[in-house]
Structure 1
């Protein structure tokens, strides 16, 4: 092996997923790798370019991955030494949907997919890592059409919008397949298959090691057509060698292996090779059945549900999806998107059921989720927050119309409570007469909050600026947005108030970089990750997004990403905050799932040393963010 290839193999061995491969395997890959030198700002590929025959690893330098969304360039990710990017040719057929550009002089290794693919099929850790990297670098709002392309033509695939999960779903398949030996007579085998209602049988040697497979198709194309007599031995018509996989394969891996080998069945064996014992058989039908837990299917079921009790069962399945995603290490941003769509469908159906009870609304209206669901950040079962805005009606109809909507909101929130979303302790719900009113009343409310924040701040909660429409008339939501952004323009007093609000929470770390924990009460010695870490980031992202007039982006992570474009001088701070937000959210979600609560308090004693460091590192960008707020908003009056 030449010294260049040896040097590349040594380099790759240090980084995942290559650390799962032997040095011999890496050496074989390295001899086929091309070395690409990129000058500063040189583009390697851009949106709509034809796919390359390779994927890439950064050997040195920095590569920026960006997309164009809503006429804005959004930075998705920075790839540093050892990072993988450009995985689209592995998983999709359509052109590139992002741009890869060198941020500084860089050296890139181009790894041919044809060379690398054989090492993926038998190594689920490698494939899991590639799938995760692909998902992480695909946070493109326009990039929904690639999901679902992995299925072969005769596998039905559901709803595209929430199909991220199919990459990571576990697979249910037949663990006790039919087996026979090579000398069995075809007629006897056909009888056995018919009696067991099976469309396949595995041919094994005496040690139960697979040597071939016969499917219903083999029977019809080779026996029914008369090419072979029914008295022949089964080995004459079997397909071999068989395609084998490991037992714990995911849905996506199975799809990839089936597509790659152009087969309809896979045989699961103890070690994933055809030299070990048979443990099961996977058919294309199993792929369809395994998609029952697909978010798209779940949303369809929600839409057909007739009671809050049935909705509760479906909400429990969302918890399973979230747990499975966290366990599979799916990027949290994707999990948020999936959970948000399902939560939204549950809220919408709860309102529809209430309307079916009460009869048609007397006026058009909009139900806005506020708070965490308004930001698409609700993974754990937290309390419900909402407002109801109905269109302006003539004065003598006002009381009657408002009464209807209060009843509607009460029934809807009661349905949501049955599903498991507790009522908001602060009463921030459309069922509260304060938060159920006409568009003109809401306009006056926002005018008052934003133009005289000191006077009217008692009932001002900043969550009223995070909203997402769950049901109703989008023009009403747009009218609310117009009022907010009109009032925000050059409104120093309002930003002074919000800026101080964002800084009101106590610091998460002491001067000596120790976690500041609760001193008394039931959560003594625990770390309040919600108040000390997440809320300051949420509040700051909202504050800056409003001040830069960034509309239609309510999610904290996305707000920081957009801010990096709006304010390039401070882009690094915003990107660090975006990553910190995801890390902290994951800590909270894991804690909440473990204790079946809202995950607010972290028991630091249960964290290992690495996790404690990760948690601490995620808190470091907050100091710079605090300085940025003080500098930009010149806080005075409410300090």
Structure 2
């Protein structure tokens, strides 16, 4: 047979069933546009190797290999052309000497025979498959069949094996199940997440929030006792040129802090005398942290406690000696766009008109965190603190316009903000509960609180949070009610679980008290759990409702995308992937009587503690949900929208593989619900 060097990787190059070395490829007899009559027009043999190299280095795990090693692999790659429905290998076959990479076309992997045949995966351009022989040294666990005209590269196992054993990132790629048809169980979220983070290439050189702060704090160790006079303490602060002084006991354990602000507000203002003791004006308890903390931990402590100083102690508690102070200034030096500063600007701004610009900067912060691959749980905490500060400032603004509230009230965040998961500026979901009173006063109070909520909803809309299309907002009188009315709502939803009731329950059960009298929310929560225990049929119905969104068991090219409408050919990550886990975590949390924890991955973490027999599944569900949150946020920032609909074409190979690995977890969690609540027998 006369051979002609390869002209173009897009051509059908080799007869079906024949494996050839890439240095010598026979032209396909049915492809007339190959200039077989003029061999002088063909590319030289080394150009073939360069084409193979150019293709492989675009995709993991080959982009993790040194250029020299990849050059050697490319020189030995075998190329095979497959006709539609041609089988490359069968389930149970002895493994080939190569594993495969799809160059063009697609290959489906199936298990079983006849009617029992089950689709396992569909591999397209850049996908690795048939790696069972590389890792497990076992026969093929599935059958590989071309779904269309397909070109695959065969990579030598003998050449690749040393790379696998000496390159941890490459090994992690296969361990995470990114190679289709490999021996590992798909959906191992621990390895998937480790691989995703290991393979992530960050482009920024800024300090990561997970980095340790090694800034010197010892020179800030300025202390006195509680019995020191304010006059002497102020003199020590002046001598040390310090804006604060730590108050310690005889063992140098911290008991409080005196700052310039304390002196100005309490001493200079005349509330206490200059010769009184420090304990009369100090702020307590002091917020402590261990030496060399992660920046993420320090930032959260500063924001949550609304302080500017963290006392560094030997073990991070108040029961060990002081070693120094970590100040807000340290963090400002270490990081540029500081979330603490954003929160302070929101709280202190005199004009509500400044809030949209500040919130825009928070979006820039989110972009930076995602680029740095910062832990998504921390990112969610930061964005929640920023959004909460925004809501509180809007409430203060509204109260300033309307005057003092007629009754005590509590603002409730619901939906993703209630779960502390609102990374992007999605639509608003909120409610308001106020204390019970006589009918006339309640009506008067509701009119006030509806006005208050409308003003808040408008401010949030100006900051980029669109109003809820279903009007699930406190500005709607239906969701601005006294405590007894909210109790009646939940009573009806629990004891009469119609489809509408279950839908409302799935939304409002995730409420989080954000501002006002938190006792109102606490009383409502106690009422809810009491009635859930009384009405045992409610949780099975809620579990059944949670199964309405079937899991997208794979991410096969255009599989499970929207069939029409504005989002045709896009993947609804909220409805098809995130909502099933949100709903499952809610039901299981209610079942275990866990109150006060709304966040989905925190709920799964708590469930793992309460149910050791299911701990592995719950931990993997938490990691899967974090991965989905990251994908949605990246998609939203990329397309300047809510990120709900993802265009598969915009995902790189690693993103698609990572997302695909999360889907098996959804199926496993829903199966647990099915068994626990015996849903097969419900309404049977």
Class of the TM-score when normalised by the shorter of the 2 chains: 0.5 to 0.7
Further displaced range: 528-537 or 515-524: 515-524
Match of 1:380 in 2: 424
Q: In structure 1, what is the Cα distance between the partners aligned to 2:579 and 2:189? A: 26
Match of 1:332 in 2: 376
1:344 is aligned, of 365, 388, 393, to 388
1:622 Cα deviation (Å)? 1.1
2:664 equivalent to 1:620: yes
Change in 2 beyond 3 A, CA 1:410/1:547: same
2:211 is aligned, of 131, 136, 152, to 131
1:489 Cα deviation (Å)? 1.8
- Provide, for residues 414-448 of structure 1, a one-character-per-residue CA deviation record: whole Å limited to 9, x for no partner: 11111111111111111111111110111111111
Change in 2 beyond 3 A, CA 1:162/1:330: farther
SS at match of 2:301: coil
1:287 Cα deviation (Å)? 6.7
Match of 2:218 in 1: none
Change in 2 beyond 3 A, CA 1:127/1:460: closer
1:145 Cα deviation (Å)? 4.9
Match of 2:508 in 1: 464
Q: In structure 2, what is the Cα distance between the partners aligned to 1:630 and 1:573? A: 15
Q: In structure 2, what is the Cα distance between the partners aligned to 1:327 and 1:381? A: 18
Q: Is 2:428–2:465's contact at 8 Å kept on the other side of the alignment? A: yes
Match of 1:477 in 2: 521
2:476 is aligned, of 425, 428, 432, to 432
2:557 equivalent to 1:539: no
TM-score (norm: length of structure 2): 0.53
Match of 1:160 in 2: 301
- Provide, for residues 108-127 of structure 1, a one-character-per-residue CA deviation record: whole Å limited to 9, x for no partner: xxxxxxxxxxxxxxxx9899
Q: In structure 2, what is the Cα distance between the partners aligned to 1:304 and 1:130? A: 28
Q: In structure 2, what is the Cα distance between the partners aligned to 1:126 and 1:293? A: 11
Structure 2: gaps spanning 5 or more residues:
1-60, 67-167, 169-187, 196-203, 215-286, 306-327
Q: Is 1:291–1:297's contact at 8 Å kept on the other side of the alignment? A: no
Change in 2 beyond 3 A, CA 1:316/1:518: same
2:637 equivalent to 1:593: yes
Q: How does 1:232-631 map to 2 (within 5 A)?
A: 288=332, 291=335, 293-454=337-498, 457=501, 460-489=504-533, 491-509=535-553, 515-631=559-675
Q: In structure 1, what is the Cα distance between the partners aligned to 2:605 and 2:639? A: 31
Further displaced range: 295-304 or 371-380: 295-304
Change in 2 beyond 3 A, CA 1:532/1:395: same
Q: How does 1:190-269 map to 2 (within 5 A)?
A: none
**Equivalences, count:** 398
- Provide, for residues 546-568 of structure 1, a one-character-per-residue CA deviation record: whole Å limited to 9, x for no partner: 11111111000000011111111
Q: Is 1:308–1:416's contact at 8 Å kept on the other side of the alignment? A: no
Change in 2 beyond 3 A, CA 1:301/1:393: same
Q: Is 1:448–1:456's contact at 8 Å kept on the other side of the alignment? A: no
Change in 2 beyond 3 A, CA 1:482/1:506: same
Question: Over the residues paired in the alignment, what is the CA RMSD in angstroms?
Answer: 3.8
Change in 2 beyond 3 A, CA 1:348/1:129: closer
From the CA coordinates, give the structure whose radius of gyration is larger.
2
Q: Is 1:132–1:329's contact at 8 Å kept on the other side of the alignment? A: no
SS at match of 2:473: coil
1:306 Cα deviation (Å)? 2.9
Change in 2 beyond 3 A, CA 1:147/1:451: farther
1:161 Cα deviation (Å)? 3.6
Q: In structure 2, what is the Cα distance between the partners aligned to 1:148 and 1:299? A: 25
SS at match of 1:367: strand
Q: In structure 2, what is the Cα distance between the partners aligned to 1:622 and 1:499? A: 14
Structure 1: gaps spanning 5 or more residues:
1-14, 21-56, 58-76, 85-123, 135-143, 165-283
1:594 Cα deviation (Å)? 0.6
Q: In structure 2, what is the Cα distance between the partners aligned to 1:413 and 1:315? A: 15
Q: In structure 2, what is the Cα distance between the partners aligned to 1:303 and 1:327? A: 27
Q: In structure 1, what is the Cα distance between the partners aligned to 2:576 and 2:658? A: 16
Q: Is 1:505–1:536's contact at 8 Å kept on the other side of the alignment? A: yes
Q: In structure 2, what is the Cα distance between the partners aligned to 1:129 and 1:301? A: 21
TM-score (norm: length of structure 1): 0.57
Q: In structure 1, what is the Cα distance between the partners aligned to 2:402 and 2:636? A: 36
Change in 2 beyond 3 A, CA 1:522/1:393: same
SS at match of 2:565: coil
